[in-house]
Amino acid sequence: MSASFFSDQQKHHNPPTFFAAGNFHPHPEIPDRADKLLEAASQSGLILEEPQDFELTYIKKIHTKRYIDYLQNIYTRWSRKKGMSLEVFPDIRPDKRSCGYPKSAEGQAGFHHLDLSSPIEKNTWNSILWSAHSAAHAATLVKNGEGASYALARPPGHHAGKDYAAGFCYFGNSAIAAEVLKSNFDRIAILDIDVHHGNGTQDIFYGRSDVLTVSIHADPIRFYPFCWGYSNEIGENEGVGFNINFPLPRGTEDEDYLKTLELAIKKINDFSPLGLVIALGLDAYKEDPLTGLSITTEGFQKIGKRIGKMVLPTVIVQEGGYLCPELGLNLSSFLEGFNSERGL
């Protein structure tokens, strides 16, 4: 693996706060994350490339038109009104997705945000658009014959559903990568190893049998996203049996995590995919600010090595992993393990 994709446009999104546990907090999903990850990717031998502008080609395959329109225009609409906050924050939330669709900026913000962790500011649209382009270009490279590629998708994406933002996420970058691969491969597996369950990715593919979604994450019974990520969530309609969750106890360490990874890989092998997307969350690290699991830097190397053994066309899409001294080292460790099994 030699190619990685990132645009400087992705650094411009920089909301100062998010709301959780009844309070506003400094937002942890900041541009400095990208700098640390870029440095680590370069030190690992990856060549940084500017992604192609795919316009909305692949985004429209994943997200609804009204959600895309909302993200593109809401900041301007919000800012025109007197007395509004500097960033777009919702103050209502419908109890079900089948409710009426409001025309007001406030109403649509409530409809399209699952929580208060994904505010929208003046630079958000361009950053999320180019994050999606990075994922799409990395997947295009693999679709066309490259063995593996890495997308530094910042802002991340796996909490974003078909028509909602959540958990610092706006567009489903890993889902977009899978959709790109689908244009050349019949069956795609997504393996999400972020500490948080990828509820958005699950939502997008929940009724489909051509994309297997597998997630290893901290048990949501006391951890974000709280309401999704349980083992009884197995898909619906044609998708029954094609969504698999492995919730782990808080504080799970390397040895038990790797045992669960073996179970997840067995499920993927049984599916016989022709392509693989790794939703790479580095926030499973034991000292991550959003800590839920206790994976070590060496543990990431072992995780990467085991995934590399699968020898499938693979797109690695960056998800979580927040500022701590070892953030870049953890990415390098994962890539080292992965590349060692690919002869790179």
Catalytic positions: 159
Among 212, 210, 185, 186, CA closest to 201: 212
> Under a CB-based contact definition with an 8 Å cutoff, are residues 213 and 341 in contact?
no
Place of tokens 């546990």: 21
Q: What is the largest CA-CA distance in the chain?
A: 59
**Which pair of structure tokens corresponds to residue 39?**
């440095």
The angle that helices 297-308 and 254-271 make with each other, rounded to 10 degrees, is 20
> Under a CB-based contact definition with an 8 Å cutoff, are residues 213 and 205 in contact?
yes
Number of H helices, E strands in the chain: 10, 10
**Which pair of structure tokens corresponds to residue 2?**
């030699």
- Residue 310, Cβ neighbours under 10 Å: how many? 18
